[in-house]
Amino acid sequence: MQFVEAHGARIPIVGFGSMRLKEEAGAKAIEAAIRNGYRHIDTAAFYGNEREVGQAIRASGVKREEIFLTTKVRDNNLKADDFARSLDNSLKLLDLPAVDLLLIHWPNPQVPMAESIGALNKAKRDGLTRHIGVCNHTIALLEEAWRETREPLVTNQIEVHPFLDQSKVIEASRRHGMSITAYCPIARGRVPGNPVLERIGAAHRKSASQVSLRWLVQQGFIVIPGSGKPERQKENFEVLDFSLSPAEMNEIATLKRPDGRVVNPPQAPKWDV
Ligand SMILES: NC(=O)c1ccc[n+]([C@@H]2O[C@H](COP(=O)([O-])OP(=O)(O)OC[C@H]3O[C@@H](n4cnc5c(N)ncnc54)[C@H](OP(=O)(O)O)[C@@H]3O)[C@@H](O)[C@H]2O)c1
Protein backbone atom coordinates (compact mmCIF):
# COMPACT_ATOMS: atom_id res chain seq x y z
CA MET A 1 0.00 0.00 0.00
CA GLN A 2 1.09 3.56 -0.67
CA PHE A 3 0.39 6.27 1.88
CA VAL A 4 -0.24 9.98 1.61
CA GLU A 5 1.35 12.03 4.37
CA ALA A 6 -0.04 15.37 5.47
CA HIS A 7 0.63 17.25 8.70
CA GLY A 8 1.68 14.05 10.50
CA ALA A 9 -1.18 11.87 9.19
CA ARG A 10 -0.25 8.78 7.16
CA ILE A 11 -3.29 7.81 5.09
CA PRO A 12 -3.60 4.70 2.86
CA ILE A 13 -4.00 6.09 -0.67
CA VAL A 14 -6.71 3.58 -1.63
CA GLY A 15 -9.58 3.64 0.84
CA PHE A 16 -13.09 2.20 0.86
CA GLY A 17 -16.24 4.34 0.69
CA SER A 18 -18.93 2.71 2.83
CA MET A 19 -21.90 4.96 1.98
CA ARG A 20 -25.10 3.01 1.17
CA LEU A 21 -23.78 -0.16 2.88
CA LYS A 22 -26.15 -0.82 5.77
CA GLU A 23 -27.62 -3.59 7.91
CA GLU A 24 -26.44 -7.17 7.72
CA ALA A 25 -25.65 -7.18 3.99
CA GLY A 26 -23.82 -3.86 4.36
CA ALA A 27 -21.73 -5.08 7.31
CA LYS A 28 -20.81 -8.19 5.29
CA ALA A 29 -19.82 -6.05 2.28
CA ILE A 30 -17.61 -3.79 4.44
CA GLU A 31 -16.04 -6.86 6.06
CA ALA A 32 -15.37 -8.26 2.55
CA ALA A 33 -13.64 -5.00 1.61
CA ILE A 34 -11.31 -5.32 4.62
CA ARG A 35 -10.64 -8.96 3.77
CA ASN A 36 -9.93 -7.81 0.18
CA GLY A 37 -7.13 -5.64 1.51
CA TYR A 38 -8.60 -2.22 2.26
CA ARG A 39 -7.10 -0.63 5.37
CA HIS A 40 -8.80 2.75 5.11
CA ILE A 41 -12.57 2.96 5.65
CA ASP A 42 -14.64 6.10 5.10
CA THR A 43 -17.97 6.47 6.92
CA ALA A 44 -20.11 9.32 8.29
CA ALA A 45 -22.84 9.89 10.87
CA PHE A 46 -25.12 10.73 7.92
CA TYR A 47 -24.59 7.29 6.30
CA GLY A 48 -26.34 5.59 9.22
CA ASN A 49 -23.91 2.67 9.10
CA GLU A 50 -21.32 3.34 11.82
CA ARG A 51 -22.56 0.33 13.81
CA GLU A 52 -22.06 -1.84 10.72
CA VAL A 53 -18.56 -0.39 10.15
CA GLY A 54 -17.55 -1.20 13.74
CA GLN A 55 -18.97 -4.72 13.41
CA ALA A 56 -17.18 -5.28 10.09
CA ILE A 57 -13.82 -4.19 11.52
CA ARG A 58 -14.18 -6.61 14.44
CA ALA A 59 -15.46 -9.47 12.24
CA SER A 60 -12.57 -9.03 9.78
CA GLY A 61 -10.03 -10.09 12.41
CA VAL A 62 -7.74 -7.23 11.28
CA LYS A 63 -6.31 -5.28 14.22
CA ARG A 64 -7.98 -1.94 14.83
CA GLU A 65 -4.64 -0.09 14.66
CA GLU A 66 -4.04 -1.43 11.14
CA ILE A 67 -7.15 0.33 9.84
CA PHE A 68 -7.37 4.05 9.14
CA LEU A 69 -10.96 5.00 10.01
CA THR A 70 -12.67 8.23 9.07
CA THR A 71 -16.05 9.51 10.17
CA LYS A 72 -17.84 12.84 9.76
CA VAL A 73 -20.16 15.19 11.62
CA ARG A 74 -23.04 16.44 9.47
CA ASP A 75 -23.80 20.09 8.76
CA ASN A 76 -26.83 20.32 11.10
CA ASN A 77 -24.66 19.29 14.08
CA LEU A 78 -21.87 21.88 13.88
CA LYS A 79 -22.80 23.93 16.99
CA ALA A 80 -20.44 22.97 19.82
CA ASP A 81 -22.93 20.96 21.92
CA ASP A 82 -24.49 19.22 18.93
CA PHE A 83 -21.04 18.44 17.56
CA ALA A 84 -19.92 16.78 20.80
CA ARG A 85 -23.17 14.77 21.00
CA SER A 86 -22.87 13.63 17.37
CA LEU A 87 -19.29 12.47 17.83
CA ASP A 88 -20.15 10.72 21.10
CA ASN A 89 -22.96 8.88 19.30
CA SER A 90 -20.67 7.94 16.38
CA LEU A 91 -18.09 6.45 18.76
CA LYS A 92 -20.81 4.55 20.64
CA LEU A 93 -22.13 3.07 17.38
CA LEU A 94 -18.61 2.22 16.17
CA ASP A 95 -17.94 0.87 19.68
CA LEU A 96 -14.51 2.52 19.61
CA PRO A 97 -12.76 5.07 21.84
CA ALA A 98 -11.54 7.18 18.89
CA VAL A 99 -11.32 7.44 15.11
CA ASP A 100 -8.26 8.27 13.01
CA LEU A 101 -9.79 11.17 11.13
CA LEU A 102 -12.82 13.33 11.92
CA LEU A 103 -14.25 15.56 9.20
CA ILE A 104 -16.87 18.28 8.94
CA HIS A 105 -19.17 16.73 6.29
CA TRP A 106 -20.61 19.91 4.77
CA PRO A 107 -20.03 23.54 5.78
CA ASN A 108 -22.96 25.34 7.39
CA PRO A 109 -23.10 29.15 7.00
CA GLN A 110 -25.55 29.36 9.94
CA VAL A 111 -22.83 28.28 12.41
CA PRO A 112 -19.78 30.54 12.87
CA MET A 113 -16.63 28.84 11.59
CA ALA A 114 -14.92 29.62 14.94
CA GLU A 115 -17.52 27.42 16.67
CA SER A 116 -17.45 24.41 14.29
CA ILE A 117 -13.68 24.43 13.87
CA GLY A 118 -13.34 24.98 17.62
CA ALA A 119 -15.45 21.85 18.24
CA LEU A 120 -13.35 19.90 15.74
CA ASN A 121 -10.14 21.03 17.51
CA LYS A 122 -11.61 20.04 20.88
CA ALA A 123 -12.37 16.53 19.61
CA LYS A 124 -8.69 16.13 18.76
CA ARG A 125 -7.51 17.66 22.05
CA ASP A 126 -9.83 15.26 23.91
CA GLY A 127 -8.26 12.27 22.14
CA LEU A 128 -11.46 11.31 20.30
CA THR A 129 -9.72 11.54 16.91
CA ARG A 130 -6.06 11.41 15.89
CA HIS A 131 -6.49 13.89 13.04
CA ILE A 132 -9.03 16.42 11.80
CA GLY A 133 -10.08 17.77 8.42
CA VAL A 134 -12.93 19.02 6.28
CA CYS A 135 -15.08 18.04 3.29
CA ASN A 136 -16.58 20.13 0.54
CA HIS A 137 -14.68 23.28 1.50
CA THR A 138 -14.20 25.91 -1.18
CA ILE A 139 -11.14 28.16 -1.36
CA ALA A 140 -12.83 30.89 0.72
CA LEU A 141 -14.04 28.38 3.33
CA LEU A 142 -10.58 26.81 3.54
CA GLU A 143 -9.00 30.19 4.22
CA GLU A 144 -11.54 30.87 6.97
CA ALA A 145 -11.10 27.40 8.49
CA TRP A 146 -7.31 27.76 8.58
CA ARG A 147 -7.62 31.17 10.26
CA GLU A 148 -9.68 29.56 13.05
CA THR A 149 -7.89 26.26 13.59
CA ARG A 150 -5.03 25.59 15.98
CA GLU A 151 -4.60 22.00 14.87
CA PRO A 152 -3.72 21.17 11.25
CA LEU A 153 -6.49 20.16 8.85
CA VAL A 154 -5.03 17.11 7.14
CA THR A 155 -7.44 16.64 4.24
CA ASN A 156 -10.10 18.29 2.11
CA GLN A 157 -12.46 15.51 1.00
CA ILE A 158 -14.04 16.67 -2.26
CA GLU A 159 -15.53 15.25 -5.43
CA VAL A 160 -12.70 14.50 -7.86
CA HIS A 161 -12.81 12.36 -11.04
CA PRO A 162 -11.92 12.82 -14.71
CA PHE A 163 -15.20 14.58 -15.58
CA LEU A 164 -14.85 17.54 -13.17
CA ASP A 165 -12.34 20.38 -13.02
CA GLN A 166 -11.32 20.87 -9.38
CA SER A 167 -7.88 22.36 -10.05
CA LYS A 168 -8.42 25.64 -8.16
CA VAL A 169 -9.62 24.14 -4.87
CA ILE A 170 -6.98 21.40 -5.13
CA GLU A 171 -4.26 24.02 -5.49
CA ALA A 172 -5.62 25.97 -2.49
CA SER A 173 -5.78 22.80 -0.35
CA ARG A 174 -2.23 21.89 -1.28
CA ARG A 175 -0.99 25.39 -0.44
CA HIS A 176 -2.03 24.53 3.13
CA GLY A 177 -0.22 21.18 2.98
CA MET A 178 -3.54 19.28 3.00
CA SER A 179 -4.10 15.97 1.27
CA ILE A 180 -6.96 15.62 -1.19
CA THR A 181 -9.41 12.77 -0.62
CA ALA A 182 -11.27 12.15 -3.88
CA TYR A 183 -14.88 11.09 -3.34
CA CYS A 184 -16.97 9.63 -6.16
CA PRO A 185 -13.68 8.69 -7.86
CA ILE A 186 -15.51 6.71 -10.54
CA ALA A 187 -18.19 9.40 -10.85
CA ARG A 188 -20.88 7.13 -9.30
CA GLY A 189 -20.65 4.62 -12.12
CA ARG A 190 -20.33 7.10 -15.02
CA VAL A 191 -16.72 6.08 -15.64
CA PRO A 192 -17.42 2.54 -16.96
CA GLY A 193 -18.28 2.80 -20.65
CA ASN A 194 -16.42 6.06 -21.27
CA PRO A 195 -14.66 5.38 -24.61
CA VAL A 196 -11.36 7.13 -23.71
CA LEU A 197 -11.06 5.43 -20.32
CA GLU A 198 -12.08 2.06 -21.79
CA ARG A 199 -9.47 2.36 -24.59
CA ILE A 200 -6.67 3.36 -22.23
CA GLY A 201 -7.72 0.56 -19.88
CA ALA A 202 -7.64 -2.05 -22.66
CA ALA A 203 -4.02 -1.10 -23.40
CA HIS A 204 -3.12 -1.93 -19.77
CA ARG A 205 -5.56 -4.86 -19.36
CA LYS A 206 -7.41 -2.75 -16.82
CA SER A 207 -11.01 -1.51 -16.59
CA ALA A 208 -12.13 2.09 -17.11
CA SER A 209 -12.75 2.31 -13.32
CA GLN A 210 -9.18 1.24 -12.62
CA VAL A 211 -7.91 3.87 -15.08
CA SER A 212 -9.92 6.60 -13.34
CA LEU A 213 -8.61 5.52 -9.92
CA ARG A 214 -5.04 5.23 -11.23
CA TRP A 215 -5.27 8.70 -12.79
CA LEU A 216 -6.20 10.06 -9.35
CA VAL A 217 -3.63 8.18 -7.24
CA GLN A 218 -0.91 9.02 -9.77
CA GLN A 219 -1.58 12.69 -8.94
CA GLY A 220 -1.22 11.92 -5.23
CA PHE A 221 -4.94 11.95 -4.40
CA ILE A 222 -6.41 9.52 -1.88
CA VAL A 223 -9.36 7.64 -3.45
CA ILE A 224 -12.37 6.12 -1.65
CA PRO A 225 -14.37 4.15 -4.23
CA GLY A 226 -17.42 2.32 -2.89
CA SER A 227 -18.93 -0.97 -3.96
CA GLY A 228 -21.15 -3.56 -2.33
CA LYS A 229 -19.73 -6.21 -4.65
CA PRO A 230 -16.56 -8.04 -3.56
CA GLU A 231 -15.31 -8.51 -7.15
CA ARG A 232 -15.58 -4.76 -7.82
CA GLN A 233 -13.94 -4.02 -4.46
CA LYS A 234 -10.96 -6.10 -5.62
CA GLU A 235 -10.95 -4.42 -9.01
CA ASN A 236 -10.93 -0.96 -7.42
CA PHE A 237 -8.14 -1.95 -5.04
CA GLU A 238 -5.81 -3.14 -7.82
CA VAL A 239 -4.64 0.21 -9.12
CA LEU A 240 -1.11 0.46 -7.72
CA ASP A 241 0.43 -2.16 -10.05
CA PHE A 242 0.45 -0.18 -13.30
CA SER A 243 1.06 3.38 -14.41
CA LEU A 244 -0.30 5.74 -17.01
CA SER A 245 2.03 7.53 -19.42
CA PRO A 246 2.21 11.35 -19.41
CA ALA A 247 0.26 11.32 -22.71
CA GLU A 248 -2.48 9.13 -21.16
CA MET A 249 -2.64 11.35 -18.05
CA ASN A 250 -3.05 14.41 -20.28
CA GLU A 251 -5.69 12.80 -22.48
CA ILE A 252 -7.78 11.89 -19.41
CA ALA A 253 -7.45 15.49 -18.19
CA THR A 254 -9.28 16.64 -21.37
CA LEU A 255 -12.48 14.82 -20.24
CA LYS A 256 -13.43 17.44 -17.65
CA ARG A 257 -16.72 19.27 -18.26
CA PRO A 258 -18.39 22.24 -16.57
CA ASP A 259 -21.44 20.10 -15.64
CA GLY A 260 -19.48 17.06 -14.48
CA ARG A 261 -20.38 17.29 -10.78
CA VAL A 262 -22.45 14.34 -9.52
CA VAL A 263 -22.92 15.52 -5.90
CA ASN A 264 -24.57 18.93 -5.47
CA PRO A 265 -27.10 18.91 -2.60
CA PRO A 266 -29.04 21.99 -1.43
CA GLN A 267 -26.55 22.66 1.40
CA ALA A 268 -23.59 22.83 -1.04
CA PRO A 269 -21.51 26.03 -0.90
CA LYS A 270 -20.94 28.19 -3.99
CA TRP A 271 -18.33 26.09 -5.76
CA ASP A 272 -15.09 27.49 -7.16
CA VAL A 273 -15.10 27.40 -10.96
N1 LIG B 1 -17.78 13.89 1.79
C2 LIG B 1 -18.83 13.83 1.01
O3 LIG B 1 -19.64 14.77 0.94
C4 LIG B 1 -19.04 12.59 0.17
C5 LIG B 1 -20.01 12.61 -0.86
C6 LIG B 1 -20.17 11.45 -1.62
C7 LIG B 1 -19.40 10.32 -1.35
N8 LIG B 1 -18.49 10.33 -0.33
C9 LIG B 1 -17.67 9.13 -0.02
O10 LIG B 1 -17.10 8.65 -1.22
C11 LIG B 1 -17.40 7.27 -1.38
C12 LIG B 1 -17.49 6.92 -2.84
O13 LIG B 1 -18.49 7.69 -3.50
P14 LIG B 1 -19.75 7.04 -4.25
O15 LIG B 1 -20.00 5.70 -3.69
O16 LIG B 1 -20.83 8.04 -4.22
O17 LIG B 1 -19.25 6.99 -5.76
P18 LIG B 1 -18.20 6.06 -6.56
O19 LIG B 1 -17.29 5.34 -5.65
O20 LIG B 1 -17.62 6.94 -7.63
O21 LIG B 1 -19.17 5.03 -7.30
C22 LIG B 1 -19.87 4.05 -6.62
C23 LIG B 1 -20.90 3.44 -7.59
O24 LIG B 1 -20.25 2.82 -8.68
C25 LIG B 1 -20.48 1.40 -8.66
N26 LIG B 1 -19.15 0.78 -8.83
C27 LIG B 1 -18.16 0.68 -7.90
N28 LIG B 1 -17.07 0.09 -8.43
C29 LIG B 1 -17.37 -0.20 -9.71
C30 LIG B 1 -16.64 -0.81 -10.75
N31 LIG B 1 -15.40 -1.25 -10.57
N32 LIG B 1 -17.25 -0.96 -11.97
C33 LIG B 1 -18.52 -0.51 -12.16
N34 LIG B 1 -19.25 0.09 -11.21
C35 LIG B 1 -18.69 0.24 -9.98
C36 LIG B 1 -21.10 1.08 -7.33
O37 LIG B 1 -22.10 0.09 -7.45
P38 LIG B 1 -22.03 -1.33 -6.70
O39 LIG B 1 -22.08 -1.06 -5.24
O40 LIG B 1 -23.26 -2.02 -7.24
O41 LIG B 1 -20.76 -1.97 -7.16
C42 LIG B 1 -21.75 2.40 -6.93
O43 LIG B 1 -23.04 2.52 -7.51
C44 LIG B 1 -18.71 7.09 -0.59
O45 LIG B 1 -18.93 5.74 -0.24
C46 LIG B 1 -18.45 7.98 0.59
O47 LIG B 1 -17.66 7.28 1.54
C48 LIG B 1 -18.30 11.46 0.41
Per-residue pLDDT reduced to its tens digit, 83-111: 999 999 999 999 999 999 999 999 999 99
Supply the pLDDT for residue 259. 81
50 lines ligand 1 (CB under 6 A): no
Question: Of 107, 92, 93, 27, which Cα lies nearest the Cα of 59?
Answer: 27
Any atom of ligand 1 within 6 Å of the Cβ of 235: yes
So what's the pLDDT on residue 241? 98
Q: What is the pTM of this model?
A: 0.98
Active-site residue (options: 4, 12, 36, 47):
47
Atom of ligand 1 nearest to the CA of 44: 47
Ligand 1: residue of 194, 232, 237, 263 to mutate (most ligand atoms within 8 A of CB) is: 232
Can you give the pLDDT at residue 15? 98
Task: Determine if ligand 1 sits within 6 Å of the CB of residue 6.
Answer: no
The list of the chain residues with pLDDT below 70 reads none
Distance 115 CA to ligand 1 centre (A): 31
pLDDT value for 62: 98
| Ligand 1 binding pocket includes 201 (Cβ within 6 Å) | no
pLDDT at 171: 98
Long-range contacts of 54-63 (CB under 8 A, 24+ apart): 54/93, 54/94, 54/95, 54/96, 55/27, 55/31, 56/27, 56/28, 56/30, 56/31, 58/95, 59/27, 59/31, 60/31, 60/34, 60/35, 62/34
Whether 228 is in the pocket of ligand 1, judged by its Cβ within 6 Å, is yes
Kindly report the protein residue whose alpha carbon is nearest to atom 29 of ligand 1. Answer: 232
Model pLDDT, residue 233: 98
Q: How far, in Å, from the CA of 40 to the mean position of ligand 1?
A: 15
Strands (E), 13-92: 16-17, 40-42, 68-73
According to the model, what pLDDT value does residue 258 have?
A: 75
